[in-house]
Amino acid sequence: MIFQQSSVDLIKARSSWRNYSERPLEPEVRGKIEHFLAQSPKGIFGTEPHFYLIEKTSEDEKIKLGTYGLIRGAQTFVVGTISVTDPGYVDFGYLMERIVLFLTDLNLGTCWLGGTLNRGEFAKALNLPDSQMIPAITPVGYTDSDRTLREKIIRFGAGSRSRKGWKELFFDGNIHKSLDEEVAEKYSLPLEMVRWAPSASNKQPWRVIKETGQPHYHFYLKRTPGYIKPERQIDLQKVDLGIAMFHFETVAQEIKLRGKWENRQLENLFERDAEYIVSWIGE
């Protein structure tokens, strides 16, 4: 098991925190995080993103890491990097959400940031070569027990507490028939946890089609029309798909559903702006 608490509880407990205590991480907690980051496995598609724990003010006092004032108080960040020439966005999302839930397990606050960060400053703090880029980061730290009003307003503005329903996300055999929980049987829990995944601007671009008569679940990315990629064409909606895959897999494993990811090279069954990503082939 990767986590102490159940994945379902962690997924439910996680939400984006934008206000942090200035208290630095306890050395023991820091050690646990560094150990976890150092042991990050390869992604499902075989790419190897790297993850670093860095301080707001690095050793070079001139570098101050920026989040455009949106994140308050955070002293420490997890920063992830991938290759520019072979960008494994899906793998990145999958592995970074594994880290985010690990931090949730340690009772720490996090907030995925793919838009509101100064990438140049973070790259400088890491001495990042041009061949690498930063798709997203998260602050990590202790949170105050209750959310501030400011936080609630930002969350409300992002529609953070709402998620699309099953009818819009999950399909039975083809895109014209929505999937009922009874048909998904035990897989209704992993799917429900896909639904609660975080996504950039809460757009929830994941769509899943169940194969008729089989526990096979085909994952598609349905792009949000007009959604603008941040600088350097970083594909945050593919990152979102990786996050959803991690939720699905970790919960399936927890309830002893066996299966594996496969690229079945399926065609796009949705109308426009959609693409096939990967399939979960359950036994």
Ligand X SMILES: Cc1cc2nc3c(=O)[nH]c(=O)nc-3n(C[C@H](O)[C@H](O)[C@H](O)COP(=O)(O)O)c2cc1C
User: Least distance to ligand X from the beta carbon of 19, Å?
Assistant: 12
Task: Give the closest residue to 101 by CA, choosing from 200, 191, 12.
Answer: 12
User: Least distance to ligand X from the beta carbon of 119, Å?
Assistant: 11
8-state DSSP, 85 = S
8-state DSSP, 224 = P
User: Least distance to ligand X from the beta carbon of 264, Å?
Assistant: 25
Q: Which is nearer to ligand X, 44 or 257 (CB)?
A: 44
**AA identity, residue 181:** E
Q: In whole angstroms, what is the distance from residue 170 CA to residue 156 CA? A: 25
Q: Please, is 169 exposed, middle or buried when counting C-beta atoms within 10 Å of its C-beta (0-12, 13-18, 19+)?
A: buried
Q: Which is nearer to ligand X, 70 or 281 (CB)?
A: 70
User: Least distance to ligand X from the beta carbon of 155, Å?
Assistant: 6
User: Least distance to ligand X from the beta carbon of 111, Å?
Assistant: 6
Going by C-beta distance under 8 Å and a sequence separation of 6 or more, which residues neighbour residue 118?
Answer: 65, 66, 67, 68
Q: Which is nearer to ligand X, 100 or 189 (CB)?
A: 100
Which element (helix H / strand E) includes 166?
helix 166-169
Contact at 8 Å (CB) between 280 and 252? yes
Q: Which is nearer to ligand X, 29 or 200 (CB)?
A: 200
Q: Which is nearer to ligand X, 16 or 81 (CB)?
A: 16
In the complex, the residues that contact ligand X under the rule CB under 6 A are 15-16, 70, 111-116, 136, 158, 160, 198-202, 236, 239-240, 243
